[in-house]
Chain A
Amino acid sequence: MVPSSDVVLTQLRKGVVEYCVLACLRSGPAYGLELAERLGATSTLLTSEGTLYPLLSRLRQQGWVTTTQIASPMGPPRRYYELTTEGQAALETFTATWSRFTADVRTTLEQ
């Protein structure tokens, strides 16, 4: 059976998207909607914006991000997510590994 592109994407997102979220926080804290926009509404990284929130909860429980509630000019207070030192270190490890991994994948696919 040939997998659909959705199935392939679901597999590829596992273990990758959380680091993309961390990367989006490198430039500074962001609230949920802002973070979803940074990730790109039309990108393949998220199935939908709602799927970002279970992931953010796991990152917070891992200690890779912290949350702070800050008053919003519109609506309820915003929950800002901020990268921790540990999250920054995890992102650096991933980035270094990812570069090697993608280079190997590309080399293999283009053979």
Chain B
Amino acid sequence: MTMTSPLTLNLAAATPEQFGAWTAPHLRAMSLLAARLASDAERDDVVQEALIRAWTKRGQYDARRGTPSAWLLAITADQARRARRGRRPLLGFLPGRVRPIDDELDLAHAIAGLSGRQRLAVDCFYFVGLDVAETAAVMRCSEGTVKSTLSDARNRLRKLLEGRDGPA
């Protein structure tokens, strides 16, 4: 049996199994992003749709333009947006599994008060754990824009939190 290294895989000619192996290292980040941007209940559906979309578009992937991770995450973000359109839960990151202590609730409320772009940057960078380049791919902007958006978001959060529990 011959194995193809995911690094040398010709995506356009890949079998579903080879494509699956190529996406496997990124599946965790895709699931986290889906849960964060859509909802826990929709997470698996979003990831499934994203993988199908990536599979049908695999011929368009260009390694010179970015990493597989950034490409897959950008597709996942698109699918999550479609799933969630108009019904983002206010406290997306507190689905009952995290102890709802006041501190976390305050932070969740404050994050809900950010603009859409700021919230997306915070979700990707702090919660999903993406680096700046991957966050830029999801947000379809430059890394510099991600940094400035995160900085704006923190400033806004400080103000929102000061109104609740004093200085952050």
A and B interact: no
